[in-house]
Structure 1
Amino acid sequence: MPSRQKQLIFSVSGLLGFCCALTAAVATGLPFWLRGAVLCRTGADLVNATGPELDKFLGDLSYGLFHGQRVKQCGLGGRPSRFSFFPDLLSAIPAGLHVTVIFFCGVTILFSSVATGFFFFNAFGRPYETLQGPLGLYLWTFICCVSSCLVLVLFAAEVKLQHLSERIANFKEVNFVFQTYTERYDRSFWLFFLIFLVHGLNGLLIRLAGVQFPFQDSKEVELSGGGADLMY
């Protein structure tokens, strides 16, 4: 492939990598990872609420990785409040898993920035080592794909398996018991899914530029002289 076309492809990949780094940084800090509704089970059971009557006992809940807000409804009007994960909710949530999600968000931001630099370096510079040359782009892109995928998987596990929404809704609640009614992933979660797809696209663009996949060609082992080696 002509060098002009390679420069164009690597430049486009670099711009995509920069957009991924910027998007990941913004999405990590926004409180729009999950939105849902929580049911005041105690109040609903007291009056045997069913059907439309349940609306009086449904509160809103939305949060991100660092803070969020909730509105508790127990039949007497809403009680809005804001909360922070650090340090308020550390005793109520699976802290290790939550910190791991934030860690891989940071990894995604860092290596998306690194990949951006190396894309432009390969477009306009003269790489001289494997990690700096075209083959190294597969490494940085692969790390970005894996880290963004882990963010999605670990956050989904925290929400679904660890019942994060119920833990938040019932934090420091003595008289009422809240239950998750509806949950849906919000824009920040889907932005990380988009980041995962864009890095996958970058991997295809690297291949389109004519760079072979690592370990694609198996090395042939020379067996000549094997009979002589067995003889003394």
Structure 2
Amino acid sequence: MAATNYKKLFYAGVVLLSLAGVVMMATSMGTDFWIEAQVQRNFGNVSQTQGGMNIGLFKGCKTFRTIPDCGFQVTGAEVGTNITYQPGHPMVAATIAFNAGAMLMGLVAVIFSAYNVYTNPIETFAGPLGLYIWNGVSAVFCLVCLILYAVLYLLHLSGNDLLPQSDLDSRFYVATSGFGYSYWLVLGALAAFLLNEGLVYLSGKHIRSVFQNRSGSMKERPSEDVLMY
């Protein structure tokens, strides 16, 4: 009885971490802070900080503050239409697809881990093997999201590539840029799904033992092809 409660405690932890992973992936997709940048403008030999911009998977925003003698102000302007990759670039579309896939697999992991808390399923994909698979696939999807967007950043979204030509003509430039919290939420989700793999392992259900139990049950099953005399 104590061993059963011990396992259920680990499965409850899988439920919570899977749910946290899903929430982090949903938040990352719904927020526009995958990239944050500080934008400045040149006035002769003087550079003055004008504001910044942030970009998500679907849209972004830039805010340039008014400074004396600047004569230029943009507040809350949408930048999604100004950046050619948004949101129809194949790498962005792939990032969105893998993000959605990670959320879907995470929800499946939540359901089946909760199922394991309250019962002892005999179905292969509803039991411990399924928890390994659902959390593992979610982790892989999160990793692909991180890699895709990092490559996209290096190729198309670093430095002055963030600004449209009209801003460059007005002598604006990107002083600093980097990943925002929306991007790092995906890393947090990846960590949650990987921790779930460890919790399932600590519950006593190792991958090898799961397959051994499965093959053993198959051997014990009488063959339907045996002729009875």
TM class by shorter-chain length?
0.7 to 0.9
For residue 163 of structure 1, the aligned residue among 139, 157, 172 is 157
Query: TM-score by structure 2 length?
Result: 0.78
Give the AA of the match of 1:68.
Answer: G
RMSD, matched Cα: 2.9
Distance 1:142 1:36 in 2: 33
Give the AA of the match of 1:25.
Answer: A
Partner deviation per Cα, 1:78-131 (whole Å, 9 max, x = no partner): 32243264xx35745571111111111111111111111111112212322221
Indicate the SS of the match to 1:141: helix
Alignment correspondent of 1:38: 39
Distance 1:126 1:84 in 2: 52
Distance 2:99 2:111 in 1: 19
Identity across matched positions, percent = 22
Distance 2:168 2:198 in 1: 54
5+ residue gaps, structure 2 = 216-229
Measured at CA, do residues 81 and 211 of structure 1 come closer, stay the same or move farther in structure 2, by a change above 3 Å? same
For residue 107 of structure 1, the aligned residue among 101, 110, 130 is 101
Give the AA of the match of 2:71.
Answer: L
Kindly indicate whether the alpha-carbon contact (under 8 Å) linking 2:32 and 2:54 is maintained by their aligned counterparts in 1. Answer: yes
- Is 1:60 equivalent to 2:60 in the alignment? no
Measured at CA, do residues 171 and 109 of structure 1 come closer, stay the same or move farther in structure 2, by a change above 3 Å? farther
Alignment correspondent of 1:16: 17
Kindly indicate whether the alpha-carbon contact (under 8 Å) linking 2:37 and 2:175 is maintained by their aligned counterparts in 1. Answer: yes
Give the AA of the match of 2:126.
Answer: Q
Kindly indicate whether the alpha-carbon contact (under 8 Å) linking 1:170 and 1:177 is maintained by their aligned counterparts in 2. Answer: no
Indicate the SS of the match to 1:2: helix
Measured at CA, do residues 61 and 160 of structure 1 come closer, stay the same or move farther in structure 2, by a change above 3 Å? same
1:38 Cα deviation from its structure 2 partner = 3.2
Query: TM-score by structure 1 length?
Result: 0.77
For residue 113 of structure 2, the aligned residue among 116, 119, 123 is 119
Q: How many residues align?
A: 208
Distance 1:215 1:178 in 2: 61
Partner deviation per Cα, 1:152-186 (whole Å, 9 max, x = no partner): 11111111222366444216658346543211221
Give the AA of the match of 2:10.
Answer: I
Alignment of 1:203-218 (within 5 A): 203-214=197-208
5+ residue gaps, structure 1 = 220-232
